[in-house]
Chains A and B, each alone.
Chain A
Amino acid sequence: MENGFSSPRSDAFPIGLRVLVVDDDPTWLKILEKMLKKCSYEVTTCCLAREALSLLRERKDGYDIVISDVNMPDMDGFKLLEHVGLEMDLPVIMMSVDGETSRVMKGVQHGACDYLLKPIRMKELRNIWQHVLRKKIQEGRDIEGHDVIEGIHILRNVADRYDDSQFLRGEELFSVRKRKDIDKHEDKDFCDTSSTKKARVVWSVDLHQKFVKAVNQIGFDKVGPKKILDLMNVPWLTRENVASHLQKYRLYLSRLQKENDPKACFVVGMKHTDSCSKDGDGNFGLRSSLAVPQNDVTNSSFSFSGDNFLLQNVDSIGCEVDRKRVVQEHTSEPKRAAARSVPEPIKSRCTQMKFNNSIHSVEPEGKFAAFDPSNRSCYPWVEAPEIKFKQESKPLVHLEGDFNQFPPTVPPHQVQMDPLQSISSISSGRSATEKDIANSIESKPPYSEDCSQQMVHLNLPKTPTDSFSGKAKSFNEMNDHFDPNSTTTAPMGKNQNFNLSCISTDLGSGLPFATIDEDLQGYLLQDGCYPKDLEHQIIQFPDYGDPGIFTEVPTHLYDAMRFGYDYSYDPTEYPVIDEGLFIA
């Protein structure tokens, strides 16, 4: 793959694209081979997933893209996808005759760059090279005869034509571009950004084994990229490489764990942290958000649409559903209409609990957010643990403070103990980060460097934060922290769990969150999509909290949330949003 385009045929890209097709159905194998050959691609077929894997391992750089069936007798297509993603980092297209949303979602969650429905047509295969190119561009690698700018133009053209099969990888690039346009930085900047990025590391089996060995040696709860890097002792490997791989690896592990529960997939780790105390998702989510500053820009553009979803989601369910009903309903199907008769008093508690959960399910970072004191006034029982909360929030503020040191434009008020302020500090910090990235792209590498130091710092099991995020028992511990002070102690814990399943069921049934599904599943796959979630929370807070606080939110911010995606692209309005975040 590294040398994939250095061969003579590279000037004719995508002609000669090397495609590995895996399908246990001989008929389809033959048809696909024919179709791909008609596209002038170089085709290798095999009917067993294991065989495919060994082919891929034998010839590391022998293929550009893999097309794999979902159902295969010897190995689940999703598992193959995991392996290919982890070891070869090749784009994988899944295909199936089964177009159920949950299946497609599972594919995308496992890292598929596309999901084709059988019968597959030529016109769908003709364009698969775009996944290869997209990956190349993402990695900031020049393809011979196509410099990156050209690549982006091609991509843009393709993407304009491309409809729903446009997955996050594409959208990410899109957003980057649009954001760039806003900042009146044309593609040139993008090019600069990409070229400053380091060459991609191919995680060979050996390298991966070294990595796994190091992880096991350190122990899951304490693991951090720096430590792994030291233990692996591979001179050319950077901490960023390891961090990114660690992130993938954790996702991989947590997915393995919930293989039987695909609907809950997007709650990665949160649900499963209970059962697997080894897996440090919380820790990792935080790290990744810091570790991949390059994606910050992208994620910021996503976040608005995402916010909309979360707001609606929580509003509609949270306010209407009786706690007890939550328990019942989530074992079956969510029927909101049935719960509308719920008396008022329960409402607030319910909302609170929902709030927490929605954040939990969204991201480990939600743990911090859950301590948002803006809830205090709303929910009497939260009053008592206020001190506790502050204590919990300390590390957050601390973290954000550090975080904010990198961008030059950090307002001093950010590093404050009041958790409410800490929220604003997150937002302003984030926007500062964005500005930073937008204005001076050159400053990025050091920034990411710093960030990763930051993560390491986070990993040290000193602070209470680390005790949840690091040890990934966030769920239980969260409840524990609530328990001593809360009047609704026991049910709280239960409900949180139930709500989780509520959200996941809703997702599965594809109700109003259909669009978000994509967002959510997307960030699970994507390195560095996590900052988005940070932002989810930021913008959520006012809404969940005290109505008083809510009204304090500047109207333009609120509008931004409502108008969502498009709005955030508006070049004139965007600065206002930033401002709004500062004020909030």
Chain B
Amino acid sequence: MTRRPRGKKGERGNCGGFGTQIISNYCSRSAIKCVSMEVGLMQRQWVEYTKSLFLEEFLDSQFIELQKLQDEGNPDFIVEVVSLFFEDSERLLNDLTVAFDQPDVDFQKIDGHVHQLKGSSSSIGAQRVKNVCIAMRSFCEEQNIDGCLRCLQQLKQETCLVKNKLENLFRMEQQIVAAGGSIPATELIF
């Protein structure tokens, strides 16, 4: 893939911006045709990928909210928030694993952890993680260890999945930006 220095200075502000205008696409496209085609392709791929994340319910509207929050003053906002989430979820999943290893399973404690995970997954709109949390909390209430353990497995799986998906998404964005393109506003996709 050809990389070129960023085009006009004016476009710079859009780098990494999620909620930015498509119009700057136009500028980059018109600048150098062959690059623009590539950017256009990448952008289409990005759009398709983003769509799939929402359709497969990896993400919900909260993620769009985050995109709206990201601005020029803080272009890495989403990446920062998302990495905070994954740090936190990793810690919580560890705590949960440890809690289930105890001879006497403390469901209240487990419920507390799951509650936290539910809260933070709701912050980035990691819908599937959140849904597993909800299921797990009801197993907690029933004191159903098997159900809880199944959910814990699912949680690990879903967290891992959404992490990979988001990493892919961010990588695509970086590539688009590196190619001089900008990220279409997610709201406009739907």
Footprint of B on A, CB under 8 Å?
A: 24-28, 30-31, 34-35, 38, 69, 71, 96-98, 118-119, 121-122
Q: Are A26 and B77 in contact (CB under 8 A)?
A: no
Are B66 and A25 in touch, CB under 8 angstroms?
no
**Residue ID in chain A nearest B85 by CB atoms:** A27
A34 and B116 within 8 A (CB): no
Chain A hits for B87, CB < 8 A: 26
The contact size tier of chain B is: 20 to 34
Cβ of B88 and Cβ of A97 under 8 Å apart? no
Given A26-B88, A96-B119, A122-B68, 6 other A-B residues pairs in contact with their CB atoms under 8 A? A25-B120, A30-B80, A31-B123, A71-B112, A97-B115, A122-B69
Can you list 6 pairs linking A and B with CB atoms under 8 Å apart?
A34-B77, A69-B119, A71-B116, A97-B118, A119-B65, A119-B125
Decide yes or no whether B50 CB sits under 8 A from chain A.
no
Least CB distance from B50 to A in Å reads 19
Interface hits, B91-144 → A, CB 8 Å: 112, 115-116, 118-120, 122-125
A574 to B64: give the CA distance in the assembly, Å: 51
How far is the CB of A185 from the nearest CB of chain B, in Å?
45
User: Which partner residue on chain A sits nearest B116 by CB separation?
Assistant: A25
Closest chain A residue to B74 by CB distance? A34
Q: Of A24, A28, A119, which is in contact with the most chain B CB atoms at under 10 Å from its CB? A: A119
List, in ascending order, chain B residues with CB within 8 A of A25's CB: 88, 116, 119-120, 123
Q: How far is the CA of A96 from the CA of B119 in the complex (A)?
A: 7
- The smallest C-beta distance from B147 to any residue of chain A, in angstroms, reads 20
Would B119 and A118 count as touching, CB distance under 8 A? yes
On B, residues with C-beta under 8 Å from A are 62, 65-66, 68-69, 74, 77, 80-81, 84-85, 87-88, 112, 115-116, 118-120, 122-125
A122: which B residues are within 8 A, CB to CB?
Answer: 65, 68-69
Q: A72's closest neighbor in chain B, by CB?
A: B116
A26 lies within 8 A of B125 (CB): no
Are A27 and B120 in touch, CB under 8 angstroms?
yes
Q: How far is the CB of A583 from chain B (nearest CB, A)?
A: 53
Complex: how many Å from CA A35 to CA B74? 12
Cross-chain contact A31 with B69 (CB below 8 angstroms): yes
Q: Which residue of chain B has the shortest Cβ distance to A117 in the bound complex?
A: B122
CB-CB under 8 A from A118, the residues of chain B are 119, 122-123
* B64 CB, nearest partner CB in chain A, Å: 11
Residues of B within 8 A of A24 (CB): 116
How far, in angstroms, from A31 to B124 measured CA to CA in the complex?
9
Q: Closest 8 CB pairs between A and B?
A: A97-B119, A27-B123, A119-B62, A27-B84, A27-B85, A27-B120, A119-B122, A28-B123
Question: What CA separation (Å) do A562 and B74 show in the bound complex?
Answer: 57
Q: Is the CB of B65 within 8 A of A121?
A: yes
Closest CB in chain B relative to A189 CB, distance in Å? 43
Q: Determine how close the nearest CB of chain B comes to the CB of A262; give it in whole angstroms.
A: 15
What separation, in Å, do the CA atoms of A121 and B65 have in the docked complex?
Answer: 8
CA distance A28 to B123 in the complex (A): 6
B42 to chain A minimum Cβ distance, whole angstroms, is 28
One of A28, A35, A38, A96 near B120 (C-beta < 8 A): A28
